[in-house]
């Protein structure tokens, strides 16, 4: 049962005003900046989906590129090879990703893996998945898969260009963030945080660790796969080196950590700040001095982590609390 915290968030006028303003952004931006914001929203959704496992349950999973790749490459292959509608491909891919997530969670529980062991084994799963995708002709192999042109046919899972993709990713990222809010305010969220803080103590007081770990990983994997399917439809090209590489998971972990792990809005904040920053730096400085934009981006990330180890969201909340008495 979800407590009042979720309904208060859902009924917040500020939330709906923010969403309405965000929905009107395509009316004011050109396609280049709208593309940057669309990619930022992709990472908002991915980081928020990962947060269910990595932030709430404390399981630093590096296997999420496996779920992204499942949603992207499998749905694309079903469309290109067999002509299966990508709506159906989305459902099939999400089911496969959910099953894979449940298996990984079961392995973690069955062999009582420590935090470092879990990180390493999920990284191994991600690496194996990347090798399979790059070597399997059905999934396009190293050459990838080119999807049919996007003509805006909703029934064929097409968005109609960058504006439509922006609205789709805005809606999807908002839903995933609200799922985070719902979980944090439901018994599952309390159980996951108990497991994160002390798994043995959680078992001792009767928490079903296996069931809650599988639930969290399955939800996270399904949501991640759905985002992967939407992302590949927007890109129109299923590139295994981009969509099935463990590098994308490392970026997700980075955004969630900088924004604030375990918080409903933390990963979204990290992605909304860092993705546009990285894209703008690459566009403005990438051609001037090779690698300069990566250096500046790295300096900014290091500075944020050193100044506020718990993430930017707790820092912003602290600053707001300090200003309220002064304002009154």
Degrees (nearest 5) of the Cα angle 137, 225, 254? Answer: 105
pLDDT of residue 266: 95
- Is 205 in contact with 30 (CB distance < 8 Å)? no
Q: Left if phi > 0, otherwise alpha if psi is -120 to 50, otherwise beta: which for 84?
A: beta
Q: Which residues of the chain have pLDDT under 70?
A: 286-288, 324-328
Q: Name the phi and psi angles at 146, rounded to 5.
A: -100, 120
Long-range contacts (CB closer than 8 Å, 24 or more residues apart) made by 138-141: 138/77, 138/81, 139/73, 139/74, 139/76, 139/77, 139/238, 139/240, 140/73, 140/76, 140/77, 140/80, 140/238, 140/240, 141/240
What the chain holds in terms of domains, given with CATH numbers, is: 4-327 (1.10.3470)
Nearest-angstrom CA–CA distance, 144 and 135: 10
- Coil, strand or helix: which one is 59? coil
Structure pTM?
A: 0.94
CA distance 111 to 103: 12
**DSSP notation for 218-257:** HHHHHHHHHHHHHHHHHHSEE-HHHHS-HHHHHHHHHHHH
* pLDDT for 327: 47
């Amino acid at each position: 049962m979800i407590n009042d915290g979720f309904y208060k968030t859902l009924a917040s006028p500020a939330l709906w005003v923010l969403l309405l303003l965000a929905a009107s952004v395509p009316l004011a931006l050109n396609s280049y900046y709208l593309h940057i914001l669309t990619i930022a929203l992709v990472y908002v959704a991915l980081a928020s989906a990962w947060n269910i496992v990595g932030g709430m349950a404390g399981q630093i999973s590096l296997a999420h590129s496996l779920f992204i790749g499942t949603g992207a490459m499998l749905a694309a292959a079903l469309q290109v090879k067999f002509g299966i509608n990508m709506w159906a491909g989305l459902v099939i891919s999400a089911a496969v990703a959910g099953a894979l997530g449940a298996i990984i969670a079961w392995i973690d529980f069955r062999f009582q893996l420590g935090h470092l062991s879990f990180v390493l084994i999920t990284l191994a799963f991600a690496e194996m998945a990347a090798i399979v995708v790059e070597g399997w002709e059905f999934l396009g192999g190293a050459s990838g898969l080119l999807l049919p042109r996007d003509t805006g046919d909703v029934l064929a899972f097409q968005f109609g260009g960058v504006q439509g993709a922006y609205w789709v990713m805005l809606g999807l990222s908002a839903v995933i963030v609200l799922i985070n809010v719902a979980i944090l305010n439901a018994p599952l969220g309390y159980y996951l945080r108990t497991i994160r803080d002390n798994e043995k103590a959680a078992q001792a007081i009767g928490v079903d660790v296996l069931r809650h770990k599988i639930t969290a990983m399955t939800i996270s994997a399904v949501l991640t796969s759905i985002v992967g399917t939407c992302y590949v439809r927007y890109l129109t090209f299923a590139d295994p080196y981009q969509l099935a590489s463990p590098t994308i998971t490392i970026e997700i972990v980075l955004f969630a950590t900088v924004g604030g792990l375990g918080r409903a809005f933390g990963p979204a904040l990290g992605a909304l700040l860092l993705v546009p920053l990285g894209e703008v730096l690459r566009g403005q400085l990438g051609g001037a001095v090779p690698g300069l934009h990566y250096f500046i981006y790295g300096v900014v990330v290091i500075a944020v982590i050193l100044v506020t180890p718990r993430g930017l969201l707790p820092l912003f909340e602290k600053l707001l609390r300090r200003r309220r008495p002064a304002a009154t």
